[in-house]
Amino acid sequence: MIDVIIAGGGPTGLMLAAELRLQGVGVVVLERDPEPTPVVRSLGLHVRSIEVMDQRGLLERFLEHGTKHEGGGYFAGIVKPWPERLDTAHGYILGIPQTVTDRLLAEHAVAVGAEIRRGTEVIGIGQDDYGVTVQTAGGAELRSSFLVGCDGGRSAVRKLIGVGFPGEPSRVDTLLGEMRLTVPAESLAAINAEVRRTELRFGAMPLGDGFHRVLVPAARVSAERSTFEEFTEQLRATAGTDLGAHEPRWLSRFGDATRLADRYRSGRVLLAGDAAHVHPPTGGQGLNLGIQDAFNLGWKLAASVRGWAPADLLDTYESERRPVAAEVLDNTRAQMHLLGAEPGPQAVRRLLAELMDFEDVTRFLIERITAIGVRYDMGPGPFPIGRRLRDMPVGRARLYELLRGGRGLLLDRTGRLSVSGWGDRVDHVVAPDAEIEAAAVLLRPDGHVAWAGDDQDELGERLSRWFGYPDYGLP
């Protein structure tokens, strides 16, 4: 029997596979497509995802293939300088095509022992008290302890387990593609500037290899694939010219549908990423939201497989991540409204642009978009209970380096506390000079603070809450 089957080999599924392998859990990823997609759906990583990569020792590889964009943030295309002293050691957006992100995460997952089976489509699911049976289009039948659907907005897993996906259908479609243009660079810059005064869903960006990434509003909502003829027709309708577009290497379309799964878990089957939530791409949050789902779920699911998870630990995946997704859906709804060309949305947009000159307003919006403002409900306690900590020096190391093993961490300024009984799940680092606002903090494997204080009995209760029963045969 396989420990965990993951349906979907995109960034969410690949990140989850690696997180499970970090805990010694057996993983098989089933990906329907026989080859990686060439379509670049996402262009970058936000701060929290950058931190996640750092916490797992992957950031240097991503930096080698990406470009840092420092000093600026945006909401609905309103660009403002980032506030000073943003709560992160990574105050930038990392520009990196999703195709590269997918490749790096696949390489990482395979390197730590995950198996990826391409060209394998899930068509049937059955489950009982002991596991899940997965049927594939090729006639194979696989058995696992758990199944996670990371198979996108049209998730077969979600449909097969009967989870509802309520929300709003698309009202507008946008065409996206990569193609060559013959219009001179100076003319293209002028056209971009003029059209984007009223239509922010338009743009043509050079990719450095003779191709441009082109975005233009579609004339109608459609379930059909976009065609090059439709693309050039819409360019002429929107910009008055087709920009000399030719030689498209891929074309796509996306809508502004906004949907959230009724629940993230049905027995031994769970949902993550776009299988659990879809929303417009405004703010570039989709890929990041999925990676962060995986980061929250991985250690909890591994604990369930390995047998030390508290009874309700796996349920906290939904109770923590579903509200985060609901907030992203709301902010993308707001951003899409502000992108409208009508007088009303434009008036609200001008007002928000003025409000964003106040640093506290910009900070609030940037923390939302980048996900560094996420705070999980972990019960009463002093700040920063429920939040993740920024990276910081800890002795001769860094905090995020100490989290790379995927274990819990007691960061202890007192030297008087103990994790005896949980030594196989939690590391203990005595750091008198740690820059934390408490005598000690207990971090979960995802870097979020589960406890702060100096009382050993309180610490023991929190260790049991998040890391199960102690084993006093352990150090």
pLDDT at 452: 95
Q: Give me the architecture of the 2-167+259-370 domain, per CATH.
A: 3-Layer(bba) Sandwich (3.50)
Q: What is the pLDDT of residue 31?
A: 96
Overall pTM surpassing 0.85 (yes/no): yes
**Fold assignment, 173-255:** Alpha-Beta Plaits (3.30.70)
Residue 474 has pLDDT above 70, yes or no: no
pLDDT at position 254, please? 87
Give the angle subtended at the CA of 274 by the CAs of 270 and 275, to the nearest 5°: 35
Q: CA-CA distance, 15 to 157, in Å (whole number)?
A: 18
Per-state percent for the chain, helix, strand, coil, to nearest 5: 35, 25, 40
Tokens 């797992």 label which residue?
56
pLDDT tens track for 356-409: 999 999 999 999 999 999 999 998 777 789 999 999 999 899 999 999 999 999
Q: Rounded to whole angstroms, how far apart are CA atoms 7 and 150?
A: 6
Average pLDDT of 78-90? 88
Cβ of 224: how many Cβ atoms within 10 Å? 7
Domain boundaries 393-467, corresponding CATH code: 3.40.30.120
Rounded Cα distance between 177 and 205, Å, is 11
Stretch 63-78: mean pLDDT, rounded?
85
Q: Is 35 exposed, middle or buried (0-12, 13-18, 19+ CB in 10 A)?
A: exposed
pLDDT of residue 22: 96
- Token pair for residue 219? 């004339």
Q: Where are the domains of the chain?
A: 2-167+259-370, 173-255, 393-467
Q: What is the mean pLDDT of the chain?
A: 93
Q: Which two tokens stand for residue 52?
A: 């996640």
Distance of CA 206 to the CA centre of its chain: 26
Percent of the chain with pLDDT over 90: 80
Which of the four pLDDT bands, split at 50, 70 and 90, describes residue 201? Answer: confident
CA distance 20 to 33: 23
**Burial label, 308 (beta-carbon count in 10 A; 0-12, 13-18, 19+):** middle
Query: What pLDDT score does 475 carry?
Result: 56
List all residues 6 or more positions away from 330 whose beta carbon is below 8 Å from its beta carbon: none
